[in-house]
Amino acid sequence: MTQKTKTPEADGSNSTGTVYDAYRGNWVDHRAPGWARPLLRLSRADRPIGTWLLLVPCWWGIALAAAADQPRWFDLYLACACAVGAFLMRGAGCTWNDITDRKFDAAVARTRSRPLPSGQITVTGAMLWLIVQCLISLCILISFNTPAIVTGMVSLVPVAIYPFAKRFTYWPQIFLGIAFNWGALVGWVAHSGSFGWAPALLYISGLIWTLFYDTIYAHQDKEDDILIGVKSTALKLGADTPKWLGGFLVVSVALMTAAVLVALLPHADPLTLVLCLCGPWGFGWHMLWQLRQLDIDDPDICLKLFRGSKNAGLIAALFFAAGAIV
């Protein structure tokens, strides 16, 4: 169940070091060793939604590739390895983002309690933690096949660029989508060893999905963003946001449906095809539910809906997995 966030103090600080938009009662603040808490907060381990949003496209790619070919026991390893890798690389990406954005974060009420602007950790310490996370992730990646290793390495380019996008474009969510959905390509290639139109369509579907959920997220910070001079789709789309989100929904569902058809139509049995087609439609119905609940001027609702976005992705992943194993 989604927990309400804590209200930040006027200066964004607190006596415990907790980050104000973390889940109440999260394991980092209550169970992690004291020395590790700033590092884990820097990696957003107290806010796991980002890990889910990075992981789900990996599972899409693995499961749909298995449905198009045949499932193997190694796919279970791939799914678990991607889960650990998503945790680490989401943490590395957040660490890099906080290093580059530390001055902006210090000027925003919602983010000034993060470890760097609040002084819980130094920039040098954050850079060392970034390197550690990347090295462990590399150890996992090199257990995949060579095409997947190369694909995973290329993903570092959009990850490095994303934090700077909000400085020059009102569409930084596109850069986030490029980075966050790369796992759809890695997952597919890790199973099949090759690319194709199906993973490309699945990847672009995920990119458009990111525009949907991260625009909702960005509406929390629009007033602060105006003051400090950074850009987002929330500012670009403004009051027209619901209309645009409806368009993103339709395009994302259509592309995911096309990915299923391209992957399965040549040879899949009818039950596999039907189950996999239920994935994008269940995915779309959840997004429609989010859209109907949305109030772009209520930050609490925006955060709640953003945190619920993982469920849309998991619906698709579960139907793809069901199609693979029938």
Q: What is the mean pLDDT of residues 200-224?
A: 93
The predicted structure's pLDDT at residue 10: 37
Query: Which range scores top for mean pLDDT: 8-22, 100-114, 196-210?
Result: 196-210
CA 164 to chain centre: 17
Q: What is the mean pLDDT of residues 273-294?
A: 96
Domain locations along the chain: 46-86+158-325
Are 54 and 214 spatial neighbours (Cβ–Cβ below 8 Å)?
Answer: no
From the number of C-beta atoms within 10 Å of its C-beta (0-12, 13-18, 19+), residue 305 rates as buried
Side chain identity at residue 169, one-letter code:
T
The tokens 């992705």 sit on which residue? 313
Are 244 and 215 spatial neighbours (Cβ–Cβ below 8 Å)?
Answer: yes
Q: Of 276, 288, 281, nearest to 247 (Cα)?
A: 288
Q: For residues 180 and 9, what is the distance between their CA atoms, to the nearest angstrom?
A: 32
H or E stretch including 297? none
Side chain identity at residue 220, one-letter code:
Q
Could you tell me the pTM of the whole model? 0.88
Q: Of 98, 108, 173, 161, nearest to 133 (Cα)?
A: 98
Q: Of 214, 219, 220, 202, nearest to 283 (Cα)?
A: 202
Enumerate helices (H) and strands (E) in the chain, giving the number of each. Answer: 17, 0
Q: For residues 73 and 273, what is the distance between their CA atoms, to the nearest angstrom?
A: 21
The predicted structure's pLDDT at residue 196: 92
- The answer, yes or no, to whether residue 9 has pLDDT greater than 90, is no
Q: What is the mean pLDDT of the chain?
A: 88
The predicted structure's pLDDT at residue 16: 61
